[in-house]
Amino acid sequence: MGLNELTIHELQDKIKKKDVSARAILDDVFKRIDAVEGKVHSYITLMRDSAYDAAESADRDIRAGKANTLTGIPVAIKDIMCTKGVRTTCGSHILHNFTPPYDATVVKKLKEAGAVFVGKANMDEFAMGSSTETSWFGVTRNPWDLERIPGGSSGGSASAVAADQCIAATGSDTGGSIRQPAALCGVVGLKPTYGRVSRFGLIAFASSLDQIGPFTKDVEDCAIMMNVIAGYDPMESTSVPMEVPDYQSFIGKDIRGWTVGIPKEYFIEGIDPEVEGAVRKAIAVLEGLGAKRVDISLPHTEYCLAVYYVIAPAEASSNLARYDGVKYGYRSADGRDLLEMYKRTRSEGFGAEVKRRIMIGTYALSSGYYDAYYRKASQVRTLIKRDFQEAFKTCDVIITPTSPTPAFRIGEKTDDPLQMYLSDIFTISTNLAGIPGISVPCGYTKSGLPIGVQFLAGHFEESRLLQVAHAYEKHSGIRRRRPVI
């Protein structure tokens, strides 16, 4: 078994005992990358040289007895987070040559904790997609079946963790972009509460929804990553100045007496029977651990998708106005005057899905339509948030499928944007309400594709999610498999 297959906490133990070196871990990671990257394509940019420099410095720290939380741990960064001196593309032609002059706060924190950055993970262009098919740099393939998508938008992060091409990764989640690919690739993915993790240096998609979170091989690793990245940042005025608990201390605690809410709106027609079966089994596991189930209702669930596809594109159309070919990124060569340069640059630099969302958003915000779309959607958003507030009066956590189906085939939904949007149907409400959500593996289909179960909790209750997710993971009785690539 290669060191690349281990978890953060397993490697921490070996590092502490000086059983392994950071270099040896990195060797195994790059051996794996060299073997499978040609098939999976998890990365846009590999950082081999700087990774070996970081591993060398990690080994010095380890020898000096100064190892930090993530010292020597190879981590992948979604290519939406700025890395000083390392190209950051957001999966787009328009940023294909952009080299940030600073680190995102999350990147800085991971560096300070000793992490070794392996590379920048592939993603849907500007995080707009559910399959990583819209990346300008080509599709990422699901390690469990190379003919299928890994989910999206953080598909490269999910596949890199699933294929053991790194130990952990970062992702961003605007409507499910961490949890859905985590489910489809059989790894753990957490979207924290809005405001829990700083977004300074995260390339903005929809500012009232975006949040950064980890991808890991198990729940304990997720807690370890959260301990590193969570917290207030004076550079990010929507991050919340609130104490961060020691998330790892919730690992191993039982859930006896907890109430688990089962929202009837999330077990609907159209959900894959194998997915539903696996989630029902997970509910039984929790009951076996002494949790009580309670049926709940989130009555505005059916409007989440429509609300999201007004709000997210509206905010995106505004955020993406900055890509004008003036300050950074791609500029079209044949604009005769400023206006033409803007139009050519943006039309040549953005892909079809990004343009589609800019168009929807611009329309929804344009004169005469604002009230009918953006304002109306924001009002329904209030009702969605209230649904959750009501629900959490009667339960500690909510359980749902993460995605209605296992990984679909490459190309299956690319011609029908609405069909593609529907694959986020169980994850979007979380972002609209600003609450945290985690996806944990809960089994495999007969054909061997991973299935994920999602837990949701109230604002700033990530610790609860980690506690229930870990209890479930430990007692689920599911034997962990590894993809054969």
Partner 1 sequence: MKITKQEVEHVAHLARLEFQEEEKEKFTHQLNNILTYMEKLGEVDTANVEPETHAISLQNAFRGDAVRESLPHDLSLANAPDEAGSYFRVPKVIE
Write out the catalytic residue numbers.
78, 153, 177
Residues 57-84 as b or e (16 or more Cβ within 10 Å = b): ebbebbeeeebebbbbbbbbbbbbbbbe
User: From the CB of 98, what's the least distance to partner 1, in Å?
Assistant: 6
Q: Which member of 138, 252, 287, 379 binds partner 1 (CB under 8 A)?
A: 379
Please tell me whether residue 52 binds partner 1 under the rule CB under 8 A: no
Rounded Cα distance between 369 and 359, Å, is: 13
Please tell me whether residue 329 binds partner 1 under the rule CB under 8 A: yes
Residue 74, token pair as written in the block: 């190879």
Instruction: Find the Cα–Cα–Cα–Cα dihedral 63, 217, 447, 144, rounded to 10°.
Output: -50
Q: Which member of 78, 217, 331, 470 binds partner 1 (CB under 8 A)?
A: 331
Region from 36-44, 94-102, 257-265, 447-455 binding partner 1, contact rule CB under 8 A: 94-102
Ranges within 124-153 binding partner 1 (CB under 8 A): none
Q: Closer CB to partner 1, residue 21 or residue 430?
A: 430
Total chain residues near partner 1 (CB under 8 A): 71
Please tell me whether residue 96 binds partner 1 under the rule CB under 8 A: no
Beta bridge partners of 121: 43, 78
Q: Which member of 435, 466, 469, 478 binds partner 1 (CB under 8 A)?
A: 435
Q: Which member of 253, 280, 385, 475 binds partner 1 (CB under 8 A)?
A: 385
Please tell me whether residue 290 binds partner 1 under the rule CB under 8 A: no
Q: Which member of 276, 306, 414, 474 binds partner 1 (CB under 8 A)?
A: 306
Region from 75-83, 104-112, 142-150, 303-311 binding partner 1, contact rule CB under 8 A: 303-311
Burial of 323 (C-beta count, 10 Å sphere; 0-12/13-18/19+): buried
User: From the CB of 385, what's the least distance to partner 1, in Å?
Assistant: 6
CB 402 within 8 A of CB 139: no
Ranges within 185-244 binding partner 1 (CB under 8 A): 193-195, 208, 234, 237-238, 240
Ranges within 359-378 binding partner 1 (CB under 8 A): 359-360, 362-363, 366, 373, 375-378
Rounded Cα distance between 329 and 144, Å, is: 35
Please tell me whether residue 340 binds partner 1 under the rule CB under 8 A: yes
Please tell me whether residue 307 binds partner 1 under the rule CB under 8 A: yes
Q: Closer CB to partner 1, residue 32 or residue 413?
A: 413
Please tell me whether residue 344 binds partner 1 under the rule CB under 8 A: yes
Instruction: Find the Cα–Cα–Cα–Cα dihedral 334, 339, 344, 347, rounded to 10°.
Output: 180
